[in-house]
Amino acid sequence: MATPFDMVLFGGGGDLALRKLIPALYRAHLEGSLAEGCRIFPVCRRQEDADQYLDTAREALKTHLRDGEYSDSAWQTFSQLLRAVALDISEPDDRWDQLAGILRAEEDRVRLFYLAIPPAVFGPCCENLSLKGLISGQSRVVVEKPLGYNAQTSDEINSKIASYFPEENIFRIDHYLGKETVQNLLALRFSNVLFEHLWDAKSIDHIQISIAETVGLEGRAGFYNETGALRDMVQNHLLQLLCLIAMESPNSMSAKNIRAEKIKVLEALRPLAGNTVDKNIVRGQYVAGGLGTELVPGYLEELEAASSSTETFVAIRAHIDNWRWAGVPFYLRTGKRMEKRCAEIVIQYKKVSHRVFSPEAGDVLPNRLVIRLQPEESIKLVLMAKKMDSLTMELRPVELNLTLSDTYDTFRSDAYKRLMLDAAANNSALFIHRDEVAAAWAWVDPIIDHWHETNNQPQLYRAGSWGPQAAGDLLEQDGRHWFNAQ
């Protein structure tokens, strides 16, 4: 049975909180997952923002919830959980004391401190929590990416947080890991002998992982130009998905065992440095183009700059050097202003070893497993079958399709909802350990170093396309092609 907890949401008036976190908490309340007595304290910079917070949150819910989710009656009960406060995160003034007094009224509760704020103020925020005596054995901190700019800055941030919170109380969030389809990936692998015996180099030709966005900078110009697609998406989201696909079966689904297997994958990733970077990675930057019926500006126009070498697209050919995956390429791809918004994993199986049907039957295409994470969540298996309306043997690909939104029509998947409830329940299985962060940066940093040393410039691609031509060439060199979302 759920027990009440207190959540202090630093950055409560920011885009992440209003677009994702408050709607996720509303959904948790709607389904009865928040115990009676839970308190949520969104932290705002200014008192006037705190005074108007309920109006702001209500409008955010109306904007970002799905059709039919918002109701005035549910809002009335949910709004009673929200108690906005105003304080300066970096200054331990009297307003911190007021928050401390409110929290101490429920001294024995779990306290969840969610840092939806820039990493530069993670340290000061944790320091002030400590100075005000708000960190107890029941206190947990949730931190958002990006954790640093490289291995060194990431370690500095993690060390600062670790000086106030033990590792088991630090929850590094990657919302992709909270998606129900990602959990279904684990269920698919480890509870079905059909797939687990076909999950290695003997059966699989290659694997593609794509996260494509149609949006541009979205008001994040300063941050993004200092970060780029490799740091923003590959170092965390794509490598985390890669780990879940490639890891060995853990002894159990405990956080410790899952983490151990994921780290083995990261350590087995073949290093990319020097000339191997140029051979295996394509980076791009979008220019103006058509996205649907809309003409959208290029990256430099959005940035309002004359030049920039920041990549908005990355395609990578990676290999995992172990017994299970020897010789199987993993193609990773992410980009902004792409033709379609999607996140999906494609497991491409090998061709049948011997063709028994005549050429008149048509092509015998390899089987393909497609796991889509967004916009809808689905699992699709592409098989070869006979055309039912033909008396002769004619083959065609057919789909076994599990669309989760259709199968569970009353269920609303929400990764942030799941992860926040897991953090409150002290379940860290879907969160990232410090050692994983370090291992990911150890693989990414040499790539960035090579780009800087060689003054590598991104290749241009039209907004509304699937990236630069060189990304397609990367696979064509191997006799393969991208499976672009339909």
Instruction: Reduce the secondary structure of 252-286 to three states and give it as a string.
Output: CCCHHHHHHHHHHHHHHECCCCCHHHHHHEEEEEE
52 neighbors 79 (Cβ within 8 angstroms)? no
DSSP string covering 4-68: -EEEEEETTTSHHIIIIIHHHHHHHHHTT-SPTT-EEEEEESSHHHHHTHHHHHHHHHHHHSPTT
Annotation marks residue 206 as catalytic: no
Which candidate in 206, 237, 433, 450 is catalytic? Answer: 237
185 neighbors 347 (Cβ within 8 angstroms)? no
Tokens of 388: 């039912």
- The edge-to-edge listing of strands for the beta sheet with 5-10 is 85-86, 39-44, 5-10, 110-115, 139-143, 170-172
Q: Which residues contact 360 (CB under 8 A, 6 or more apart)?
A: 392, 393, 394
Q: How far apart are CA 420 and CA 65, in angstroms?
A: 18
Nearest to 114 by CA among 4, 22, 248, 19: 22
Tokens of 464: 């509304």
Q: How far apart are CA 110 and CA 112, in angstroms?
A: 6
Q: How far apart are CA 190 and CA 196, in angstroms?
A: 6
Return the active site residues: 237
